[in-house]
């Protein structure tokens, strides 16, 4: 009996998590455009998706912004974390506190703040402001995921490297970075997913024809969400699933 | 060193990609800001081919979103398509530029009924894009009374079968109209009465919705709903049992019109685009895609029969005179929003 309850509980949790995604995927194959009524199986929305320039350009912008953001904020975040780690305890705590404020702060504060800042700087909204905003809000996450790895690293390791004749830059690239690689990797992944996910900050810092998937879907709300979005979501879900499986296989091999 | 090479490679690729996307934007452009799914994208391609002007296109979801973006600056929109009351506010704020009608000869195709309305009394700033009405959609298999008045929304027979609009202006407007007042009331006493009426209706309402109304009515989940004519057209073509009427007490007549923001950097291109969209052929093509009503008889003649002869999309013109266009209530909008919150929070 208790086994049944355990199973049922698990089923319930996963049911709530995955039911919306499953419904979405099923309805992406629906022939009609209304939610809730099944008109027959068809691939029409997939076909339309790949000929809809607006959605494709939003997908392109989303991934472009996410990729640039990931690369830049990972570099900034890793160097920042390496810089912070040898500080005295108090100073480090203070810097980390400042680093964490953007993480805990509601997105909307950051978004409106960035919007006002860009206006004061006289920047026109578009791809540049969007990427700068995304870098700004993802760097703290990279720092946070790299720091624990740096803490684990014995300080004697870089010292030994330099004693044995490595230059500081060689120590960085050959000793420190390989050691903290898992942290860098998870930080980069975090930055990438956060950037793709983000709506609030993108909404306030973009303009002049640059739309991401999330801002585009939001703007469709009044006329009803286009079923092409169901198809797009299904494809994105499958890609993420695939990446996840791939990553798990890889880590299994390593251990 | 492999990692370094990968990073360098990635950076180069990204530089290349961002170079590509910027390369497209050189030369003559027109920067358009419109409602989501409110244009047939083929028309944008056609405009680009005809004029050689590149279209940059963005979407918004509410008039208020659009206002924030326009007001905060940093955007270079050349053509925006707000609704009537928002155009009135933009004119008041001095945020629009007068249209040079010499560059927009196709304004001649727009019928007199759709020009010089209160939001732009001398038709200096705006060119109508779409228009529509607010009314009741009902399912003939579930409603056997004659539907001709807002009063049916208070009929206890249809308890939990009624869908109201989740919008302060529209819902309070309906109550005001039913009471015999103006939809643009700024009188606290009238507003209080309207609020009480809506509170009385609250137990009868199945749901307060906006864009889902269409789907719910198509699936016959409710008997009656308040809906915009454009969505009603769409619903009627999907379910034969549905009917749409404009209640006899009068209702709202709304316009979405093209305007040029004061800060536009390409006003001539904007005028070229407005002129393009007003041509009967293009307006008709757009209407067949979006399903909303166009303000031009010449364009209407080109529509498919189903759309052209529909009294839902094109009610008799004498009926239009009884309808009211929303005005910008200025700061009084807060009273609308507060009262609407009171109704929904009971």
User: What pLDDT tens digit does each residue of chain B (346 aa) get?
Assistant: 455 555 556 555 555 555 444 444 457 899 999 988 888 888 999 999 999 999 988 888 888 888 888 888 778 899 999 999 899 999 999 999 999 999 999 999 999 889 998 899 999 999 999 999 999 999 888 888 888 889 898 888 888 888 998 888 888 999 999 998 999 988 888 998 998 898 888 888 888 887 788 888 888 888 899 998 888 888 888 888 899 999 988 899 999 999 999 989 899 999 999 999 999 999 999 998 888 899 998 888 898 888 888 888 888 877 887 888 988 888 888 888 889 888 888 7
Do B58 and A209 make contact, defined as CB atoms within 8 angstroms?
Answer: yes
Is there a contact between B55 and B246 (Cβ–Cβ < 8 Å)?
no
The span from the CA of A77 to the CA of A177, in Å, is 13
Only one residue has tokens 């094109």, namely: B314
Q: Is residue A68 part of a domain?
A: yes
Spatial CA neighbour of B283 closest among B64, B43, B20 = B43
User: What pLDDT tens digit does each residue of chain A (255 aa) get?
Assistant: 788 888 999 999 999 998 888 888 888 888 776 666 677 788 888 888 888 788 888 889 999 999 999 999 999 999 999 888 888 888 888 888 888 888 888 888 999 889 888 888 888 888 888 999 999 999 999 999 898 888 888 888 888 888 898 888 888 888 888 888 888 888 888 888 889 888 999 988 887 878 888 888 887 766 666 788 888 888 888 888 887 788 777 666 654
Mutate to test the interface with B, among A120, A208, A213 (most CBs of B within 10 A): A208
* Chain A neighbors of B76, CB-CB under 8 A: 124, 208
The span from the CA of B336 to the CA of B171, in Å, is 10
Tokens, residue B249: 């007490």
Spatial CA neighbour of B125 closest among B9, B269, B231, B274 = B274
The span from the CA of B284 to the CA of B294, in Å, is 7
Distance from CA of B188 to the nearest CA of A (A): 30
- The pTM is what? 0.79
The span from the CA of B229 to the CA of B281, in Å, is 22
List, as one string, the DSSP characters of A101-158: HHHHS-HHHHHHHHHHHHHHHTPPSSHHHHHHHHHHHHHHHHHHHHHHHHHHS-THHH
Residue B211: CA count within 13 A, CB half-sphere: 15
Mutate to test the interface with A, among B3, B9, B37, B60 (most CBs of A within 10 A): B37
Is there a contact between A185 and A250 (Cβ–Cβ < 8 Å)?
no
Q: What is the ipTM of this complex?
A: 0.71
CB atoms within 10 A of CB B146: 8
The span from the CA of B2 to the CA of A145, in Å, is 23
List, as one string, the DSSP characters of B62-91: SHHHHHHHHHH-----SEE--BHHHHHHHH
Q: How many residues does chain B have?
A: 346
The domains found in chain B, sorted by start residue, are: 2-130+255-314 (3.40.190.10), 132-252+323-344 (3.40.190.10)
pLDDT of residue B9: 60
Tokens, residue B14: 């990204």
pLDDT of residue B17: 52
Q: Is residue A245 part of a domain?
A: no
The span from the CA of A176 to the CA of B258, in Å, is 59
pLDDT of residue B87: 93
pLDDT of residue A34: 65
Q: CATH number of the domain that A209 lies in?
A: 1.10.3720.10
Q: Whole domain around residue A139: which residue ranges?
A: 54-219
Q: Is residue A181 part of a domain?
A: yes
List, as one string, the DSSP characters of B313-325: TS--HHHHTT-BP
Q: Which chain B residues in 33-52 lie under 8 Å from chain A, judged by CB atoms?
A: 35-38, 41
CA angle B259, B265, B270 (to 5 degrees): 40
Structural domain total, chain A: 1
């Amino acid at each position: 009996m208790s086994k049944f309850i355990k199973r049922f509980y698990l089923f319930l949790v996963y049911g709530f998590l995955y039911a919306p995604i499953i419904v979405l995927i099923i309805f992406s194959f629906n022939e009609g455009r209304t939610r809730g009524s099944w008109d027959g199986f068809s691939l029409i929305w997939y076909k339309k998706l790949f000929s809809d320039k607006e959605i494709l350009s939003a997908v392109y912008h989303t991934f472009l912004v996410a990729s640039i953001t990931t690369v830049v904020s990972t570099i900034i975040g890793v160097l920042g974390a390496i810089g912070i780690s040898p500080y005295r305890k108090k100073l480090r705590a203070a810097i980390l506190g400042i680093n964490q404020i953007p993480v805990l702060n509601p997105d909307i504060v950051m978004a409106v703040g960035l919007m006002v800042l860009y206006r004061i700087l006289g920047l026109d909204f578009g791809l540049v402001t969007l990427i700068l905003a995304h870098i700004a809000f993802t760097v703290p996450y990279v720092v946070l995921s790299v720091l624990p790895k740096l803490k684990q690293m014995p300080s004697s390791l870089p010292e030994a490297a330099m004693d044995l004749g490595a230059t500081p830059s060689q120590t960085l690239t050959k000793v420190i970075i390989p050691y903290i690689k898992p942290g860098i990797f998870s930080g980069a992944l975090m930055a990438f997913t956060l950037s793709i996910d983000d709506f609030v900050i993108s909404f306030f810092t973009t303009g002049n024809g640059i739309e991401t998937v999330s801002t585009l879907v939001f703007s469709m709300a009044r006329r009803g969400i286009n079923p092409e979005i169901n198809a797009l979501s299904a494809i994105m879900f499958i890609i993420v699933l695939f990446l996840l499986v791939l990553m798990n296989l890889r880590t299994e091999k390593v251990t | 060193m492999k990692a370094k090479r990968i990073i360098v490679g990635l950076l180069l690729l990204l530089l290349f990609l961002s170079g590509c996307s910027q390369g497209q934007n050189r030369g003559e452009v027109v920067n358009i800001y419109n409602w989501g799914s409110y244009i047939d994208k083929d028309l944008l391609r056609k405009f680009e081919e005809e004029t050689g002007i590149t279209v940059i296109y963005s979407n918004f979801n509410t008039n208020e979103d659009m206002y924030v973006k326009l007001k905060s600056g940093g955007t270079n929109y050349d053509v925006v398509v707000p609704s009537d009351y928002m155009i009135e506010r933009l004119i008041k704020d001095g945020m629009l530029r007068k249209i040079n009608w010499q560059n927009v000869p196709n304004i001649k195709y727009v019928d007199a009924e759709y020009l010089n309305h209160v939001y732009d009394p001398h038709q200096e700033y705006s060119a109508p894009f779409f228009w529509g009405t607010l009314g009741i959609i009902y399912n003939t298999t579930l409603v056997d009374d004659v539907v001709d008045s807002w009063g049916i929304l208070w009929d206890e027979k249809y308890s939990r079968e009624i869908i109201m609009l989740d919008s302060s202006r529209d819902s309070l407007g309906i109550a005001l109209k039913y009471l015999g007042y103006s939809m643009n009331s700024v009188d606290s006493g009238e507003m209080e009465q309207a609020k009480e009426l809506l509170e009385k209706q609250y137990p009868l309402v199945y749901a307060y919705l906006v864009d889902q109304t269409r789907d719910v009515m198509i699936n016959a989940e409710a008997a009656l709903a308040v809906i915009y004519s454009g969505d009603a057209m769409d619903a009627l073509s999907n379910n034969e049992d549905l009917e749409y009427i404009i209640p006899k007490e009068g209702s709202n007549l709304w316009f979405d019109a093209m305007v040029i923001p004061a800060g536009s950097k390409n006003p001539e291109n904007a005028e070229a685009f407005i002129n393009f969209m007003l041509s009967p052929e293009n307006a008709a093509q757009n209407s067949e895609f979006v399903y909303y009503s166009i303000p031009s008889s010449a364009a209407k003649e080109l529509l498919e029969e189903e759309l052209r002869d529909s009294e839902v999309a094109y009610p008799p013109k004498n009926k239009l005179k009884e309808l009211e266009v929303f005005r910008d209530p200025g700061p009084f909008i807060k009273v609308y929003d507060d009262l609407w919150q009171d109704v929904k929070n009971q």
